[in-house]
Amino acid sequence: MTDTAQKRDVVISVRGLRNQFGTQVVHDGLDLDIYRGEILGVVGGSGTGKSVLLRSIAGLITPAAGEITVLGTDMGRADEDAHNAIAAQTGVMFQDGALFSSLTVRENVEVPLRMVHGLDGKLRRKLADLKISMVGLPYLAGDKYPSELSGGMRKRAGLARALALDPQIVFLDEPTAGLDPIGATDFDMLIRGLSRDLDLTVFLVTHDLDTLHAVCDRIAVLAERRVLVTGTMQDMLDVDHPWVHDYFHGPRARAALTTNDTTTKPQGT
């Protein structure tokens, strides 16, 4: 770790994490730090527990062992009030949005506002409409049900709900999965823009190499039941591990690097 990284504010710290379901051990001795204001991309092969790690840190499942500290609070020792306070500072967007099918988009976004703050209907509606606008959805989308939306719109609606409480930390589980290349690029830019504008810390599970290159400040690779390595996209190219090498040196990785380098290269160079 560099001196600069050591001086950065750690908002999530994971030490010795163990997740186990029956006889299946998913994580064992997993350590990870996430820094304030960064977008961390989490990758790994099938069965490495990317979503399990997200749910553990977000407080949605209880690990078998280990310590998770979020915004200075040891979640294993925190009482209900402390857990609720941290929950109000975090937002989660699940795959495909995971919206309540019987509620409109606006009503979905209002759910955390009602549950956590107990705001009256008029104020909830105004705040929900603001979040809907922030994620690039048209005003009329607020009156629609999830079944009436495209996949990309459902993801944006899910992101609006994750942002409802003005969280410091947002967890995104495969945010671009199932989107066409144009839609995925637009969503990548939305994440990057919101992260900068709102000073968000983003924990992002993905398999999308374009997202890793275009959006993420650092990458954490899950393998062998732990975080094998963290670093930038360029750092990953130097890692001597079979899975990491195959993933970051394959044709799709080379295409992502070439495409993003060409896109971001200043004119005239």
Rounded to whole angstroms, how far apart are CA atoms 114 and 220?
35
Q: Which domains does the chain have, with CATH numbers?
A: 10-257 (3.40.50.300)
Three-state secondary structure call for residue 228: strand
Total Cβ atoms within 10 A of residue 176: 24
Rounded to whole angstroms, how far apart are CA atoms 95 and 177?
8
Q: What is the pLDDT of residues 171-211, one digit of tens each?
A: 999 999 999 999 999 999 999 999 999 999 999 999 999 99
pLDDT at 158: 96
CA 170 to chain centre: 6
Rounded to whole angstroms, how far apart are CA atoms 185 and 236?
22
CA 115 to chain centre: 22
What residue ranges of the chain have pLDDT lower than 50? 1-6, 262-269
Three-state secondary structure call for residue 184: helix
Q: What is the pLDDT of residues 100-134, one digit of tens each?
A: 999 999 999 999 988 876 677 888 999 999 999 99
pLDDT at 115: 80
